[in-house]
Amino acid sequence: MKLTRRTAAAAALVALGACTQAEQEAASNYRPVGDLADLMAGVVEPAAEVIWDAVGVIVDAEGEHQLAPQTEEEWMALRLAAYTVAESGNLLMMPERALDQGAWITMSQSLVEMGQRAIEAADARNLDAIFDVGAEIYYVCTNCHGTYALETLRPNDARAN
């Protein structure tokens, strides 16, 4: 079939009909600014790094040192990073960004949940809980990359290309 402008327009109308009107209206309010890579590199990763770097144990020649936020500013930075991780899960679920409505949504929701746990742990100033939730966050990242962005996990893996 020759695809004229009219048949293309008709096909587009049929495709539009597949979404509910509410979905279309909701989707049209968003204007994604970055693509997935921008969102990861500019929002998700820097916020997660703040959480991962905040607590832990460093072992050197003098022995073990517990890392922990030292000032009110450092605690606040940790708390805000946790909010950023949580809300970035919502950004990933935006209709323009979601790669599917199944596992992608489930993993994005996990990021929201883990971010919320990190907020609670920061509010409680519970170093162990912050460390544990950091590990859970890392698991969510790698789980999604293993499914949708293998090249992010293993740049040299032939299966990724």
Q: Which residues bind ligand HEC (CB under 6 A)?
A: 36-37, 40-41, 44-45, 48, 85, 92, 104, 107-108, 111, 137, 140-141, 144-145, 148-149, 152
- Residues contacting residue 79 through CB under 8 Å, at least 6 positions apart: 119, 122, 123
Nearer to ligand HEC, 43 or 129 (CB): 43
Nearer to ligand HEC, 24 or 101 (CB): 101
Least distance from C-beta 71 to ligand HEC, angstroms? Answer: 24
C-alpha to C-alpha distance for 151 and 15, rounded to whole angstroms: 32
**CB atoms < 10 A from the CB of 139, how many?**
12
Nearer to ligand HEC, 77 or 145 (CB): 145
C-alpha to C-alpha distance for 34 and 4, rounded to whole angstroms: 33
Least distance from C-beta 116 to ligand HEC, angstroms? Answer: 14
C-alpha to C-alpha distance for 63 and 69, rounded to whole angstroms: 19
Least distance from C-beta 95 to ligand HEC, angstroms? Answer: 14
Least distance from C-beta 12 to ligand HEC, angstroms? Answer: 26
Nearest to 116 by CA among 79, 75, 77, 74: 79
C-alpha to C-alpha distance for 88 and 144, rounded to whole angstroms: 14
Nearer to ligand HEC, 93 or 127 (CB): 93
Least distance from C-beta 96 to ligand HEC, angstroms? Answer: 13
Q: What is the CA radius of gyration of the chain?
A: 21
Contact 116, 86 (CB under 8 A): yes
Nearer to ligand HEC, 19 or 153 (CB): 153
